[in-house]
Amino acid sequence: MKSKVLGSMLLVAGTTIGAGMLAMPINTASVGFGVTFIELFAFFILMLIPALCIAEACQFAPQGTTVAGLMRRTFGIVGYASNTILLYVFAYSLASAYISAISSILAEILSVPDAFKKIFTVLCLIPLGLIAVISTKVADIINQIMFYIMCLAFVVVITLSVKNINLSYLMTGPVSTQAVVKSLPLFFLTYGFHILVPSLADYLDRDTKALKVALIGGLAIPFVIFTVWNLAVHGQIPQEDLIKYAQSNKVNIASYLNPESSTLQIFTTVFSLTALITSFIGLSTALITTLKETFAKDDNNIDKTSLIHATDDVKLETSLGRIAIFILAFALPAVLVTFTPKAFVFFLGFASIISTLQAMVMPMAAVIKIRRTNPELYSEKKVYRFMLPGFVIGLIAFAFLLIAFMADLNL
């Protein structure tokens, strides 16, 4: 179990840390390191709330149940259908983006001619998809390997980038109150992993204590890495210069810190590639869990509309084989990336709203309803109940939704 907990922690961390992390100091230039650290820590705590709500709700549904299944058991077919649609739109769009980015980096490394790039994208998708399709254990192992490589690359990037930390640079504050407000969506989007939680609950055999350790520990890793990287950049570049660099629309801040190092460029590419792969593995694991639930076998002994007791040992079985799962999970992203890239780019424009509704607001609403309508489920020993009262969870869910609209509508 300990190896599974570690693997689950790294799945959370790998899903959360994306290649865009390297550009974070550029996006936070106008608020300074102090506010950056405060917001990173605040959202680290806040983003655990929906994750722990999902952990609580998963106790009362069979293994193999996703947030969509929880919505069916609490809000009926409307809740189930709306959550399922949102999840598929988000997962397929984001999977397409990851595949496009990964294949682009590999094509550049291997000098693939433009005429073969579409075929190359499909060829990249096959091994990437098989990682998640074979089993969660295989996904766990590959994710750990990629994560350790990513961490090694990050250490090298930090070592080559950091020369002298100027404490006075770290003491600069935000240029305006408006800058702080506009930075909120950035930090909100930084910790996105909630779609993965039901899959981890299954992988850990519904051991809620182990799941909590995986969630908290897994999210703490990105918090530390984000903090170290922001400290390294903000501590070496005056705020005025960092703001000018941000206005130039350049994103490779590592090369700016040490433009003469080819080694730095290599390890920056390695970090970006492995960060994308770990994020893709986490997303694919969640997508496959959803497909298995959508095409679950009909079992007269399992009521798909009712909650169960936390001690009940019930598991949904899927009617899909691995080949069918692979096709359903990755054929559409392959088509989108190859023939209609504008389609997934369009939906990604609403990614914050979609993912917030699907993986945060809806499960938080489900927990509130479970507590109100089924209090008897909490009477058994060792049943996990998240410490926040329902009305506080509701207020936080509403705040999340507001921030998501700010992010997607650029308010």
Instruction: List pLDDT tens digits, range 11-23.
Output: 999 999 976 777 7
With cut-offs at 50, 70 and 90, classify the pLDDT of residue 407.
confident
The two three-digit tokens of residue 366, written as one number = 């489900």
Task: Provide the pLDDT for residue 19.
Answer: 66
Which CATH number goes with the domain that contains 59?
Answer: 1.20.1740.10
Dist CA 173 CA 302 (whole Å): 57
Please say if the pLDDT value at position 101 is more than 80: yes
Mean pLDDT in residue range 253-272: 80
Residue 259 has pLDDT above 80, yes or no: no
C-alpha to C-alpha distances, 69 to 21, 78, 312, 329, 364, nearest whole angstrom: 32, 11, 17, 18, 14
At residue 243, the pLDDT reads 86
Q: What is the pLDDT of residue 203?
A: 92
When pLDDT is averaged across residues 55-64 and rounded to a whole number, the result is: 93
134 assigned to some structural domain: yes
Q: What is the pLDDT of residues 331-340, one digit of tens each?
A: 988 888 888 7
Q: What's the pLDDT band for 166 if we cut at 50, 70, 90?
A: confident
Query: Is 202 a residue whose pLDDT tops 80?
Result: yes
Minimum mean pLDDT range among 79-93, 364-378, 397-411 = 397-411
CA 388 and chain centroid, separation: 23
Burial of residue 411, with CB atoms counted within 10 A of its CB: 0-12 exposed, 13-18 middle, 19 or more buried: exposed
Average confidence (pLDDT) over 249-270? 76
Percent of the chain scoring above 90 in pLDDT: 50
Expressed as residue numbers, the domain containing 286 is 1-296+304-406
pLDDT averaged over every residue in the chain: 88
- Residue whose pair of structure tokens reads 């949102």 in the numeric block: 86
411: in domain: no
Average pLDDT over residues 56-75: 93
Please give, one letter per residue, the 3-state secondary structure of the chain. Answer: CHHHHHHHHHHHHHHHCCHHHHHHHHHCCCCHHHHHHHHHHHHHHHCHHHHHHHHHHHCCCCECCCHHHHHHHHHHHHHHHHHHHHHHHHHHHHHHHHHHHHHHHHHHHHCCCHHHHHHHHHHHHHHHHHHHHHCHHHHHHHHHHHHHHHHHHHHHHHHHHCCCCCHHHHCCCCCCHHHHHHHHHHHHHHCCCHHHHHHHHHHCCCCHHHHHHHHHHHHHHHHHHHHHHHHHHHCCCCHHHHHHHHHCCCCCHHHHHCCCCHHHHHHHHHHHHHHHHHHHHHHHHHHHHHHHHHCECCCCCCCCCCCCCCCCCCECCECCCHHHHHHHHHHHHHHHHHHCHHHHHHHHCCHHHHHHHHHHHHHHHHHHHHHHHCHHHHCCCCCCCCCCCHHHHHHHHHHHHHHHHHHHHCC
What is the percent of the chain where pLDDT is above 70?
Answer: 96
How many domains does the structure of the chain reveal?
1
Residue 156 lies inside a defined structural domain of this protein: yes
pLDDT score for 352: 83
Structure tokens at 362: 């809806």
State the residue for tokens 């609490």. 74
Q: What is the pLDDT of residue 250?
A: 67
Is 187 within a domain? yes
Say if residues 90 and 112 touch (Cβ distance below 8 Å).
no
CB count in 10 Å sphere of residue 186? 18
User: Does residue 226 lie in a domain region?
Assistant: yes
Asked whether residue 234 carries a pLDDT value surpassing 80, the answer given is yes
Q: pLDDT band at 303, cuts 50/70/90?
A: confident
Q: How many CB atoms lie within 10 A of CB 45?
A: 12
